[in-house]
Amino acid sequence: MNRRAKTRHPVRNAIVLLMLMGGIALLAARAVYLQVFNSDFLQSQGNQRHMRLVKDNSHRGMILDRHGSPLAVSTPVDSVWAHPPTLAKERRKWPHLAAMLEMSPRDLAQLVQKYDDREFMYLKRHMSPPQAERVMALQVPGVALQREYRRYYPLGSVAGHVIGFTNIDDLGQEGVELAYDASLRAVPGAKRLLRDLLGTAVEVAESVVLPKPGRDLVLSIDRRIQYLAYRELKAAVDEHGARAGSAIVLDARTGEVLALVNEPDFNPNNRTGLRSGMFRNRAVTDIFEPGSTLKPFTIASALESGKYSPGSIIDTTPGTLQVGDRLFRDVHNYGVLTVAGVIEKSSNVGISKIALSLNKKNIWEMLRNAGFGQSTGVQLPGEVAGLLNPYSKWVPVDQASISFGYGISVTPLQLARAYLALANDGVTLPLTLQHSETVPKGERIMSVDTARRVQSMLELAVGDIGTGRAAQVADYRVAGKTGTVRKLMPEGYSDDKYVAWFAGFAPAVSPRLVMVVTVDEPVRGGYYGGVVAAPVFGHVMTGALRLLDVAPDAPRQDTRLITVKSERVVE
């Protein structure tokens, strides 16, 4: 019996060994199949469970002023995102997570349910690092952080309208941010994240596509002059209870925009509760009749015609002029004036008589060449071209009205560009918001002699008996023109709503700065351009000329303060 059992052991052992070897062979074959022939599928399944392809953001380009000071910068922030299927299994942690995200558990539940078939969803965008760390401390499976960038504007309200702002996705929405969005915008990359068993991202496995930061943009804006213009315009609008206002400062040599401000303002860093109308850049979107600020261009056309010189005599007696069914009048009967006196006294009768003696096509060409009726080219969103009707449609009353700024509509920036041509000896320059070391090629619209004669007349208008004397700057000669316009309403011209203007440049000899100020519907302390807008010009120029170290062209022994009362002056 023992002998029989012993004879069976080798057979049994062989069978067991054969079965064992067969199993090993099957396992080896299966391993070869899985690792060699089916490896892509397994790798894909593994990656789906432990790898996640996410966007790799980079920062938007900075916006700098002409001296390199930041006007818009991107600061890193964290956004909380989740893998919805994983988060859906962790309902017990939802209340704590919702509290950290400053939302109700019900809102969180609705959010998870809404994206339950997705691989990605945001829970909270743009959280501060400490807040994001507290969220991650909860160790909720499927919840992770993604680095993003939030735009910050150091000047706040001071440059809100010109710089604009971006949305939560870092895309330009207004101002320069929108106009130059294509170059400022960053190009995001992509990276793979490795997740642990809880679905939490633990490390970056690899960068698939490298992100590209946006390009920096250097503007022509001088933040110091921008602040001066903002401060003085805001003070004037508040003092006179005005509806709105705009101010623009240009470099007379290059056409660069050094400052552009509007009131009411807004803070791009905090837009909570603001209405869309407050984002409107009134300097380029709102049009008004320019009133007497247009008279220098009628005079320029008259001088160019050869019919007039600064000393030519114009009889404005009796202070009124009937043209068709319209009666034009001056505040006083100025009697006999020279052409220069028409500008100094701002005589509507005198300028109308001059205009009616000229070829209307020549007047229209002067205005058109000065830039009226067409955009300035600064590329700010919403810019309008204004209104300059074809001369073929003008009747005598139109020709007379346009000579002193009625029947034509302009933006404040358009008027600034036109005065730039007067300051630049008759050469108009393209306006730009980008800083440049080179002077662009301009276009001559009037002779040097005509431009300089008009400059001298505008200097008289800012003299001690001129309408713009509040624009004077101690130690500098100033040239400019006031304007006071009855506001055009749907029912006709208003009897109690006005737009106050001042446009000018300094120093009068070799001008460096051009500035236009407009105040819409002032209601306190007067409404004339010489009372409301001219002081803004004077205050800003006083600071700006010294900031730029512009040498005085009329130093005085004693500097006297100029006080302008709300007297009745014609403009």
Please give the positions annotated as active site: 292
**Exposed/middle/buried for 181, CB within 10 Å: 0-12, 13-18, 19+?**
middle
Using omega within 30 degrees of 0 as the cis cutoff, is the peptide bond preceding 390 cis? no
492-506 sheet: strands from edge to edge? 257-263, 244-251, 513-520, 492-506, 479-489
Distance CA 94, CA 105 (A): 6
Q: How many CB atoms lie within 10 A of CB 570?
A: 19
Cα 151 from chain centre: 15
Alpha-carbon dihedral sign for residues 319, 322, 327, 328: negative
Task: Report the sign of the C-alpha dihedral through residues 431, 432, 438, 441, in that order.
Answer: negative
Taking the CA of residue 312 as centre, how many other CA atoms within 13 Å lie in the half-sphere pointing to its CB? 17
What phi and psi values does residue 296 have, to the nearest 5 degrees?
Answer: -55, -30
Element (H, E) at 54: strand 51-56
The token duo for 79 is 């956004």
Q: Rounded distance, CA 421 to CA 253, Å?
A: 10
What does the buried/exposed string (b/e) look like for 450-461 if buried means 16 or more CB atoms within 10 Å of the residue's CB? bbebbbebbbbb
Smallest Cα–Cα separation from 501: which of 514, 488, 520? Answer: 520
Phi, psi of 480 (to 5 degrees): 180, 180
Cβ 324 vs Cβ 395: under 8 Å: yes
CA angle 311, 451, 420 (to 5 degrees): 140
Q: CB neighbours (10 Å) of residue 13?
A: 10
Total count of residues recorded for the chain: 571
Q: Which two tokens stand for residue 569?
A: 């002056």
Q: Tokens standing for 410?
A: 């302009």
Helix (H) / strand (E) element for 20: namely helix 2-32
- What are the DSSP E strand ranges found in 394-512? 427-428, 443-444, 479-489, 492-506
